[in-house]
């Protein structure tokens, strides 16, 4: 004898029912088989809803009933069932209608009535499926499970009466001659014959009871996924089916939310050592999961990660419980008396508090029961009234082998902590098969994914980017990412996902990664970027290893970095403002980065893509000390002074630099030295000096009217009118056989910026085009400085500096 169970998802449509039949016929080829079926997918929920509506005297229950009726008629038609079958279907629907009408009239939807109503889901589906046998060359019968499965009167979650049930099953199948027997799952009856059910999802249990009573070799559970997965496949894309798992592991996983198997299912099978195979009706050739007693499935310490999503945490605390025996006993008695199931318990060793996690629907009942039980202690202030926390979830890491492995809980909690998932309570059973943590409901998907990555993926790291500012540099960065995505995946096991893009008007999100072929068009059609929608959307997505990339020059954007770091979202900034304005702000960002284990990177702030800040950090981290910095840090000013000569006016050269994108949109930021000052401030701070912008000595080389110009056009005009001023600067330098370079320096903690005449012998003299150069003198580089030199401006090199910062996050 074989037992196969097909869930609601496998019998949701006529097409899938045909698939079920193919599997059933194959199973019954050489052996008799019992096929246990659930209600058509979604029907049990509809029945529950119809009952509730009728109970509330809401006539829409009739509409819900019509939905149920139409659904079954449609399937019957598609399955080409006989007229007799259709007549019987109508009888069943009529019975259901009468019961619902009764509920409507007398306002009663007790547990007993609920079971009566819900039973029609399985009765209808099993009947229709068995009627399809007309077209099969095989003997098929329908057997009402209520005649064989006997239970107590615990309606909606009845307990099986043994050995009565086993005997009835054995007797029936001893005499039955059909090759295939179709039976409804989930439903059963009391000794008096009243309909009961085994709890939502209970068809799995029906099949297990039949399998155990008949001592079959294996129970097959057919569903819509290819087995029991390492995590819920709907929430963790990288989850995969576990090939083999022990009974206890499967039980823990299902108790903690792996819906694929109804938790009590394993008990009768474990007692008889009958294996369970979970298979996919839609992909029958895929391996599936085999659940056995086997100990060789212990090789991998963690088998799965799972969660329960609607949890409340109740805490009883107060000085009155320290050292007093019996408090926990009374607490558990109070909860048991009102039938509240405790999912997790923790007690601090100080005995000052006990914390229990319960299903959110039980919150009110549970807290009232506890407060009542301890009313005298609460009145005398020895205990506080129950503290209730809502919107929580439990996440559990499960595996038999965890017992023999140190450090799993350490890993679990550090992974959660690093991803800003706050842990409210922790429990680990003495069996060490399950480590559970209570976290906020909003963090579940992130927690599942980061834990899955830690325990099952190791290989591929995903970095999720949220980029603001998609001008020149932004566009180049996106092009570089698009070009390099496949390489990074293949060589560094690194997946770069651009999840969010925004400019000042629009924003665009796709948690699976925005297609970079036509991002511009997608962004143009994106949502409008107003108020705080961008930041809120990023927080709501709550993705692991999220990175905010600022490619603007905007001070409002820069002012927001702290908010990102506090959410454990790394910040990669091209924008120099945050690192160069108030020292206190820079310091705060550095501290937040440390506190939240979240990088704040800004390599491109100095020298675009040149490795200036990274090199400086390496010097400092390895114990060196910077004594002096000499640098040409403005690609724009270098371009201007390299091209300014007797033939070309200062005005012409500045205009060209501006038009070719070498200057900031407002060229005064470059020409006044502000941009260079910002850079030397950043280098000084990264060298360990507490320095502010207004402490930088900045002697302007501009004419007075240039310094006082109010607008860009006005400023450009002064370059023309004051041409003689600039020519004089050039001539004087030339007269001294020198060239003009705009130099930044730091010595003894004092920084300055300004135009200098550089003699031939100096390393700056031959600096070409828009190149930058930095000379670091340190305790180790005393006579000969460490020199970094190369193109220090331009969209491509800046984008590549940003890309470098992003890639460096792969180890976070």
Residues with catalytic function: 679
Report how many residues bind ligand ADP under the rule CB under 6 A. 21
Rg from Cα positions in the chain: 36
Q: Which is nearer to ligand ASP, 157 or 200 (CB)?
A: 200
Query: Looking only at residues 295 through 354 of this chain, which bind ligand ADP when binding is defined by CB under 6 A?
Result: 304, 306
String of DSSP letters for 22-77: HHHHHHTSSS-EEEEE-PSTTHHHHHHHHHHHHHTT-TTHHHHHHHHHHHHHHHHH
Among 259, 441, 495, 506, binds ligand ADP (CB under 6 A): 259
Is 260 near ligand ADP (CB under 6 A)? yes
Report how many residues bind Mg ion under the rule CB under 5 A. 2
Crossing angle (nearest 10°) for helices 327-337 and 363-373: 130
Cα distance between residue 699 and residue 702, in whole Å: 9
String of DSSP letters for 191-251: TT--EEE--TTTHHHHHHHHHHHTT-S-EEEEESSSSSBSS-TTT-TT--B-SEEEHHHHH
Joined together, the tokens standing for residue 709 give 């110009």
From the list ligand ADP, ligand ASP, Mg ion, none, partner contacted by residue 186 (C-beta under 5 to 8 A by kind) = ligand ASP
For residue 3, the cross-strand partners are 34, 219
Q: How many CB atoms lie within 10 A of CB 754?
A: 17
Among 38, 181, 190, 197, binds ligand ADP (CB under 6 A): 38
Stretch that binds ligand ADP, among 2-10, 157-165, 188-196, 598-606 (CB under 6 A): 2-10
Cα distance between residue 331 and residue 523, in whole Å: 56
Is 743 near ligand ADP (CB under 6 A)? no
Binding mask 14-53 for ligand ASP (x = CB under 6 A): ------------------------xx----x---------
List the Cα angle 621/626/630 in 5-degree steps: 130
Stretch that binds ligand ADP, among 154-162, 256-264, 324-332, 660-668 (CB under 6 A): 256-264
From the list ligand ADP, Mg ion, ligand ASP, none, partner contacted by residue 200 (C-beta under 5 to 8 A by kind) = ligand ASP
For residue 107, the SS3 value is coil
CB 433 within 8 Å of CB 248: yes
Among 51, 129, 182, 202, binds ligand ASP (CB under 6 A): 202
Q: Which is nearer to ligand ASP, 69 or 772 (CB)?
A: 69
Is 201 near ligand ASP (CB under 6 A)? yes
Give min distance, CB of 127 to ligand ADP, in A. Answer: 18
Cα distance between residue 349 and residue 232, in whole Å: 34
Joined together, the tokens standing for residue 382 give 């020895």
Q: Which is nearer to ligand ASP, 186 or 662 (CB)?
A: 186
**Termini Cα distance of the chain:** 54
Give min distance, CB of 56 to ligand ADP, in A. Answer: 28
Give min distance, CB of 206 to ligand ASP, in A. Answer: 8
Give min distance, CB of 119 to ligand ASP, in A. Answer: 10
**Tokens 């080829």, located at residue:** 29
Stretch that binds ligand ADP, among 59-67, 220-228, 264-272, 745-753 (CB under 6 A): 220-228
Q: Which is nearer to ligand ASP, 265 or 367 (CB)?
A: 265
Phi, psi of 528 (to 5 degrees): -80, 140
Contacts of 277 (CB under 8 A, 6+ apart): 218, 219, 220, 221, 288, 289, 290, 291
Cα distance between residue 585 and residue 551, in whole Å: 19
For residue 2, the SS3 value is strand
Q: Which is nearer to ligand ASP, 67 or 693 (CB)?
A: 67
From the list Mg ion, ligand ADP, ligand ASP, none, partner contacted by residue 225 (C-beta under 5 to 8 A by kind) = ligand ADP
Q: Which is nearer to Mg ion, 5 or 685 (CB)?
A: 5
Is 275 near Mg ion (CB under 5 A)? no
Give min distance, CB of 10 to ligand ADP, in A. Answer: 6
Among 186, 256, 548, 561, binds ligand ASP (CB under 6 A): 186
Residues that bind Mg ion (CB under 5 A): 7, 201
Residues that bind ligand ADP (CB under 6 A): 7-10, 38, 201, 223-225, 228-229, 231-234, 253, 258-260, 304, 306
Residues that bind ligand ASP (CB under 6 A): 7-8, 38-39, 44, 121, 185-186, 200-203
């Amino acid at each position: 004898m074989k037992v196969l169970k097909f869930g609601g998802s496998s019998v949701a449509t006529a097409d899938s029912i045909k698939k079920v039949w193919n599997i059933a016929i194959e199973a019954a080829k050489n052996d008799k088989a019992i096929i246990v079926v659930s209600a058509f997918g979604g029907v049990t929920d509809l029945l529950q809803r119809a009952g509730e509506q009728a109970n509330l005297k809401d006539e829409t229950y009739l509409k819900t009933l019509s939905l149920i009726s139409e659904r079954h008629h449609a399937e019957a038609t598609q399955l080409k069932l006989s007229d007799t079958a259709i007549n019987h279907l109508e009888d069943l629907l009529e019975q259901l209608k009468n019961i619902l009408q009764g509920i409507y009239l007398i306002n009663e939807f007790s547990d007993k009535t609920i079971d009566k109503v819900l039973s029609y889901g399985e009765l209808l589906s099993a009947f229709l499926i068995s009627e399809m046998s007309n077209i099969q060359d095989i003997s098929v019968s329908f057997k009402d499970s209520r005649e064989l499965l006997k239970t107590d009167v615990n309606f909606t979650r009845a307990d099986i009466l043994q050995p009565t049930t086993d005997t009835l099953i054995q007797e029936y199948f001893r005499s039955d001659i059909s090759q295939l027997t179709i039976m409804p799952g989930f439903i059963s009856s009391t000794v008096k014959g009243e309909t009961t059910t085994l709890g939502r999802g209970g068809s799995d249990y029906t099949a297990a009871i039949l399998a155990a009573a008949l001592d079959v070799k294996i129970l097959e559970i057919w569903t819509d996924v290819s087995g029991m997965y390492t995590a819920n496949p709907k929430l963790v894309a990288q989850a995969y089916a576990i090939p083999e798992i022990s009974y206890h592991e499967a039980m823990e996983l299902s108790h903690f939310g792996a819906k694929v198997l109804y938790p009590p299912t394993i008990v009768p099978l474990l007692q008889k050592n009958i294996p369970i195979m979970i298979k996919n009706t839609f992909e029958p050739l895929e391996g599936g999961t085999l659940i056995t007693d086997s100990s060789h499935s212990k090789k991998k310490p963690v088998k799965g990660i799972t969660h329960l999503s609607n949890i409340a945490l109740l805490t009883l605390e107060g000085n009155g419980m320290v050292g007093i025996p019996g408090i926990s006993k009374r607490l558990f008695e109070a909860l048991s008396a009102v039938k509240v199931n405790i999912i997790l318990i923790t007690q601090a060793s100080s005995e000052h508090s006990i914390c229990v996690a319960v299903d959110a629907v039980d919150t009110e009942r549970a807290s009232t029961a506890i407060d009542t039980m301890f009313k005298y202690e609460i009145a005398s202030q020895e205990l506080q009234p129950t503290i209730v926390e809502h919107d929580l979830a439990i996440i559990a890491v499960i595996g038999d082998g965890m017992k023999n492995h140190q450090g799993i809980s350490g890993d679990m909690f550090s992974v959660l902590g690093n991803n800003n998932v706050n842990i409210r309570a922790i429990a680990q059973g003495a069996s060490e098969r399950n480590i559970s943590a209570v976290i906020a409901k909003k963090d579940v998907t992130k927690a599942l994914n980061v834990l899955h990555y830690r325990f099952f993926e190791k290989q591929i790291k995903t970095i999720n980017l949220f980029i603001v500012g998609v001008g020149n540099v932004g566009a180049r960065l996106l092009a570089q990412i698009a070009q390099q995505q496949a390489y990074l995946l293949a060589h560094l096991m690194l997946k770069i996902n651009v999840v969010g893009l925004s400019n000042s008007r629009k924003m665009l999100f796709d948690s699976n990664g925005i297609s970079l072929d036509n991002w511009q068009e997608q962004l143009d059609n994106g949502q409008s970027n107003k108020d705080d929608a961008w930041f809120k959307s990023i927080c709501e997505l709550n993705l692991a290893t999220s990175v905010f990339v600022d490619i603007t020059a905007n001070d409002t954007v820069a002012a927001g970095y702290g908010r990102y770091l506090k959410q454990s979202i790394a910040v990669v900034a091209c924008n120099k403002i945050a690192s160069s304005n108030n020292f206190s702000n820079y310091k705060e960002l550095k501290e937040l980065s440390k506190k939240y284990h979240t990088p704040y990177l800004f390599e491109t702030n100095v020298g675009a893509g040149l490795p200036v800040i990274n090199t400086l950090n390496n010097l400092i981290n390895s114990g060196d000390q910077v004594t002096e910095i000499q640098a040409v840090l403005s690609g724009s000013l270098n371009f201007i002074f390299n091209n300014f000569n007797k033939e070309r006016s200062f005005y012409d050269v500045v205009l060209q630099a501006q038009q070719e994108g070498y200057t900031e949109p407002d060229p005064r930021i470059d020409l006044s030295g502000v941009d260079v000052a910002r850079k030397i401030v950043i280098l000084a701070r990264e060298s360990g000096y507490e320095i502010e912008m207004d402490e930088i000595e900045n002697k302007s080389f501009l004419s007075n009217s240039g310094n006082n110009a109010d607008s860009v056009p006005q400023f450009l005009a002064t370059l023309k009118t004051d041409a003689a001023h600039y020519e004089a600067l050039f001539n004087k330098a030339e007269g001294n056989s020198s060239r003009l370079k705009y130099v930044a320096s730091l010595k003894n903690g004092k920084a300055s910026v300004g135009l200098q005449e550089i003699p031939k012998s100096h390393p700056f003299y031959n600096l070409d085009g828009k190149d930058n150069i930095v000379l670091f003198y340190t305790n180790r580089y005393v006579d000969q400085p460490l020199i970094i030199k190369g193109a220090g401006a331009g969209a491509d090199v800046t984008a590549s500096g940003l890309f470098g910062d992003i890639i460096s996050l792969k180890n976070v």
